[in-house]
């Protein structure tokens, strides 16, 4: 799959490495082009000169920037997102006031509203970068929860998640991104409160036929 990753930080690098190892073609961008080039060199991907250039050539665009920057990035990408699978990996986090982000919406729904021609899917946000880089813990494949309104787009993301080692799980329509963002918030809060090392990920146990 031809994949553009907007953002070359913890998430951009981790997903780029996993995607290229699985045989996908990855292009990265960053605010500082040197960071995109470094991430591309580390992960076996390529750096693009601009977000639009990366998105235009991709079948799937992953948004891996901080939430406050998403609006600007989506506006910049504009019609380059039309018809594309857009994977929202972002989380909204305010550790000082966790409830403030549980406000009856989600980043993914906001992106879909701003880019109505895009096929927005929420995925990978429930896994920390360490687990995006390596989704298998002691032989157990972590679950990748995937929410979206476009079944074909969701299926493409499920195949992508499976190709890098997750067990993909269809979490329902895009509105379920609210739950996925809250799951991430829970895990972030647990790491902060307990001084855990940002390695734990979600796995449903018990029969899930």
What phi-psi label fits residue 195: left (phi over 0), alpha (psi between -120 and 50 degrees) or beta?
Answer: left
Give the list of residues 6+ apart from residue 152 with CB closer than 8 angstroms, or none: 119
Q: Residue 32 or 209: which CB sits closer to ligand NAP?
A: 32
Minimum distance from residue 141 beta carbon to ligand NAP (Å): 18
Name the helix (H) or strand (E) containing 191. helix 177-194
Question: For residue 32, what are its two tokens?
Answer: 């500082």
User: Is residue 11 a contact point for ligand NAP (CB under 6 A)?
Assistant: yes
Interface positions, 89-118, toward ligand NAP (CB under 6 A) = 89-91, 93
Interaction between residue 187 and ligand NAP (CB under 6 A):
no
What is the rounded CA–CA span in Å between residue 132 and residue 198?
12
The closest residue (CB) to ligand NAP is 9
Site for ligand NAP in 50-89 (CB under 6 A): 51, 64-67, 69, 73, 89
Which neighbouring-strand residues pair with 47? 28
18, 26, 27, 35: which one binds ligand NAP (CB under 6 A)? 35
For residues 200 and 143, is the Cβ–Cβ distance under 8 A? no
Stretch that binds ligand NAP, among 2-10, 79-87, 111-119, 168-176 (CB under 6 A): 2-10
Kindly write out the interface string for residues 136-175 of this chain, putting x where it contacts ligand NAP by CB under 6 A and - elsewhere. Answer: ----------------------------------------
Binding mask 12-31 for ligand NAP (x = CB under 6 A): x----------------xxx
Identity of the residue, 32 or 195, whose beta carbon is nearer to ligand NAP in the bound complex? 32
Which residues make Cβ contacts (< 8 Å) with residue 115, sequence separation at least 6?
74, 77, 81, 82, 86
State yes or no: residue 129 binds ligand NAP (CB under 6 A): yes
Closest CA to 38 of 25, 47, 48: 47
- Residues in contact with ligand NAP by the rule CB under 6 A: 6-12, 29-32, 35, 51, 64-67, 69, 73, 89-91, 93, 125, 128-129
């Amino acid at each position: 799959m031809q994949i553009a990753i907007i953002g070359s930080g913890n998430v951009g690098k981790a997903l780029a490495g996993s995607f290229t190892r699985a045989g996908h073609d990855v292009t990265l961008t960053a605010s500082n082009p040197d960071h995109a080039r470094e991430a591309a060199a580390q992960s076996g991907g390529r750096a693009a000169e601009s977000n639009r250039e990366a998105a235009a050539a991709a079948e799937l665009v992953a948004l891996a920037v901080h939430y406050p920057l998403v609006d600007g990035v989506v506006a910049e990408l504009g019609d380059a997102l039309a018809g594309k699978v857009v994977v929202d990996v972002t989380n909204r986090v305010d550790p000082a006031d966790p409830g403030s982000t549980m406000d009856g919406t989600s980043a993914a729904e906001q992106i879909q509203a701003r880019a109505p021609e895009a096929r927005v899917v929420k995925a990978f946000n429930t896994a920390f970068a360490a687990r995006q880089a390596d989704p298998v813990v002691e032989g157990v494949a972590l679950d990748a929860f995937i929410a979206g309104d476009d079944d074909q787009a969701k299926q493409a993301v499920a195949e992508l998640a499976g190709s890098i080692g997750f067990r993909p799980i269809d979490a329902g329509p895009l509105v379920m991104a609210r739950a996925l963002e809250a799951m991430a918030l829970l895990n972030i809060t647990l790491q902060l409160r307990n001084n855990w090392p940002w390695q734990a990920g979600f796995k449903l146990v018990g029969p899930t036929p």
